[in-house]
Structure 1
Amino acid sequence: MRMTDDQRAAARAVIVNAAGRRLRVDGLAGVGIDALAREAGQTSGAIYAHFSSKAEVFAAVVSAGLARLKAGIERCRSTGPGWARVFALQYLSKQHRDQVADGCVLPSLSADVARSDEELRSAYAAEVETAIMALSEGCPGPTAEERRQQAITLLVLGTGGILLSRAVPEGPLSDDILEAASRAVSKLSATNSG
Structure 2
Amino acid sequence: MRYSKDHGQQTRRRIVENASYGLRENGADGLSVVDLMKLVDLTHGSFYAYFKSRDALVVEALALAMDRTVVHWLDLTEGLPAEKGFDAVVESYLSPRHRNNAARGCALPALAADIGRSGPEARRTFAGRLEKMIDVIARLIPRRSSTDARQAAAGAIATMVGSIVLARAAGDRQLSDALLKAGRQALRNQTASASAEASAVDQI
For Structure 1 versus Structure 2, the TM-score category normalised by the shorter chain is: over 0.9
Q: Which amino acid aligns with 1:72?
A: H
After TM superposition, where is structure 1 displaced by more than 3 Å over at least 4 residues in a row? none
Aligned equivalent of 1:168: 170
Give the Cα–Cα distance (whole angstroms) in 1 for the partners of residues 182 and 188 of structure 2. 10
State the percentage of identical aligned residues.
Answer: 28
CA contact (8 A) 1:165 1:177 kept: yes
Range that drifts further, 70-79 or 91-100: 70-79
Aligned equivalent of 2:51: 51
Aligned equivalent of 1:182: 184
Give the Cα–Cα distance (whole angstroms) in 1 for the partners of residues 177 and 184 of structure 2. 11
Aligned equivalent of 1:42: 42
Give per-residue Cα distances to partners, 1:131-153, cap 9 Å, x unaligned.
11122111123311111112112
Give the Cα–Cα distance (whole angstroms) in 1 for the partners of residues 117 and 168 of structure 2. 21
Q: Secondary structure at the match of 2:109?
A: helix
Aligned equivalent of 2:26: 26
Q: CA offset at residue 193 of structure 1?
A: 2.3
Aligned equivalent of 1:88: 90
Q: Secondary structure at the match of 2:140?
A: coil
Gapped runs of 5+ residues in structure 1? none
Give the Cα–Cα distance (whole angstroms) in 2 for the partners of residues 142 and 103 of structure 1. 29
Q: CA offset at residue 44 of structure 1?
A: 1.9
Aligned equivalent of 1:65: 65
CA contact (8 A) 1:15 1:47 kept: no
CA contact (8 A) 1:89 1:185 kept: no
Give the Cα–Cα distance (whole angstroms) in 1 for the partners of residues 9 and 90 of structure 2. 32
- TM-score normalized with structure 2 length: 0.88
CA contact (8 A) 1:132 1:152 kept: yes
Give the Cα–Cα distance (whole angstroms) in 2 for the partners of residues 76 and 193 of structure 1. 22
Q: Secondary structure at the match of 1:140?
A: coil
Give the Cα–Cα distance (whole angstroms) in 2 for the partners of residues 111 and 37 of structure 1. 23
Q: Alignment length, in residue pairs?
A: 193
Give the Cα–Cα distance (whole angstroms) in 2 for the partners of residues 79 and 161 of structure 1. 27
Q: Which amino acid aligns with 1:24?
A: R
Q: Which amino acid aligns with 1:4?
A: K
Q: Secondary structure at the match of 1:40?
A: coil
Aligned equivalent of 1:158: 160
Q: CA offset at residue 163 of structure 1?
A: 0.7
Give the Cα–Cα distance (whole angstroms) in 2 for the partners of residues 55 and 77 of structure 1. 33
Give per-residue Cα distances to partners, 1:17-38, cap 9 Å, x unaligned.
2112221222222211111111
Q: Which has the larger radius of gyration?
A: 2
Give the Cα–Cα distance (whole angstroms) in 2 for the partners of residues 128 and 51 of structure 1. 24
CA contact (8 A) 1:70 1:131 kept: yes
Alignment of 1:79-118 (within 5 A): 79-81=79-81, 82=83, 83-118=85-120
Give per-residue Cα distances to partners, 1:5-55, cap 9 Å, x unaligned.
4x3332222111211222122222221111111112222233322112211
